[in-house]
Amino acid sequence: MKVAEALALRADLQRRLEQLKQRLVKNARIQEGDAPEEDPAELQSELEKSARELTLLIQRINRTNAASRFGAGTLADSLAETRRSENTIQRLPGAG
């Protein structure tokens, strides 16, 4: 799997997890005596399965980034530096 494919899959899994969470909360908030639209146990199982998939995918992406040479270091090094720079800029007054 190419990095771009893995990143797209990660985004899809993150969206799916958020949707599952919302569906689970929606089905947990029902009036007494009403039946939920979806089985909460099934939703919870699907949520856990998707979370495991996402964790494994992120681990694979991180290993690839750590092993990929980029400039004087690795891709993981460059990503960390970029994140640090972005965080510093966001902390500036009026930056957001």
Extents of the domains making up the chain: 3-69
Contact yes or no for 55/66 (Cβ under 8 A): no
**What is the rounded distance in angstroms from the CA atom of residue 79 to the CA atom of residue 69?**
12
Beta bridge partners of 69: 74
Nearest to 16 by CA among 47, 37, 61: 47
Query: Among 11-25, 37-51, 69-83, which is the least confidently predicted range?
Result: 69-83
What pLDDT sits at residue 53?
97
Mean residue pLDDT across the chain = 90
Average pLDDT score over residue span 10-15:
97
Average pLDDT score over residue span 80-84:
87
Question: Considering Cα of 86, then 91, then 94, then 96, what sign does the dihedral take?
Answer: positive
Q: What is the pTM of this model?
A: 0.75
